[in-house]
Chains A and B, each alone.
Chain A
Amino acid sequence: MERHAPYLRRCIELSLRAREKGNMPFGSLLAVDGRIVLEGENTNSSEGHPFGHSEMNVLREACQRLSPGELQRAALYTAVEPCLMCCGAMLHSGVRHLVFGCTTKALLERTQPYPFIESQRVFELLGVSVTLEWLDMEAEVLKAHEGFWNS
């Protein structure tokens, strides 16, 4: 599990970078065989694009640039657990390994209640075998969100 920490820390850096641009503090990356091949940040405000989730941005590009074999071996790292749309995009992309540092539930406890569906539940319902790893880096991840949602 600890081997995942540096990748998640990079996702937190990307979250902060998104925030500096006036976007929501979310960041993701894709690693193939341990090497970072793509990075993405949230682009919700700068592109006026409400679907500019960092995971979606990474996966969209991954589908264009990587081979099916690379996608199969890839791991999607993301600071916060992905939403239903991004879980679905992950499935269509062929990526089957997901690592996140903070649950949606933990984030929403600090921000505002909002209906959501746990990613684990999504994959269970679908019966797809996905390696889902949650490394508890909640405090570090949520630092990037401090003062963002209720200011």
Chain B
Amino acid sequence: MERGHEGFIRRCIELSYQAREKGNGPFGALLLLNGQIVLEAENTVVTGKNPLGHSELNLLTEAVRRFSREQLREATLYASAEPCVMCSGALFNSGIRHVVYALSAEALRPYFPDDPYISCRDILATSSARIRIEGPMLEAEAMKAHEGFWS
């Protein structure tokens, strides 16, 4: 694991606690541009009554409004968990070409046994776009935010 990622991943875990405190799923994401955190987002599925309110989609929706495609090509998306299919698609559409996550989809699987599951690596690998994917990392820390939430 690259040491440089730790701080940003920990911030995503903090954001996932913030989301949980509001009653939402414990997920958080942030966008790094030129070494600076330029955007942060939380899961809003419960408070927004919106099953599409994933932290990554919330973040990316704002990112594509605020930054040019050229800027986004240099940006990194950090997330407390591996992006789902929808969010991987949004990442793909945004032009961002680097993603770093804490929890793997596999690690979260016991909480969502009936959900369609796939690693974002497998889904993005079917496209010819080159997206750098790093993770999982700090999984034990990230998993703490989920303890007792789903049961």
Contact = CB atoms under 8 A, between A and B. Distances in A.
Interface of A: 48-51, 59-60, 63-64, 83-89, 91-94, 115-117, 121-122, 125-128
B46 interface: no
A117 B93 contact: no
Interface string B11-34: 000000000000000000000000
Contact of B84 (A64, A88, A116, A117): A88
B143 to A, nearest CB: 22
Interface string B95-111: 00000000000000000
B123 interface: yes
Interface residues of B, number: 27
Interface in B64-110: 64-65, 84-90, 92-94
Given A92-B52, A117-B126, A125-B123, A50 B64 contact: yes
Contacts of B118: 125-126
19 contacts: A48-B65, A50-B93, A50-B94, A51-B93, A63-B52, A64-B50, A83-B89, A84-B85, A85-B86, A85-B89, A86-B89, A88-B87, A92-B52, A92-B84, A92-B86, A115-B127, A115-B128, A122-B123, A125-B122
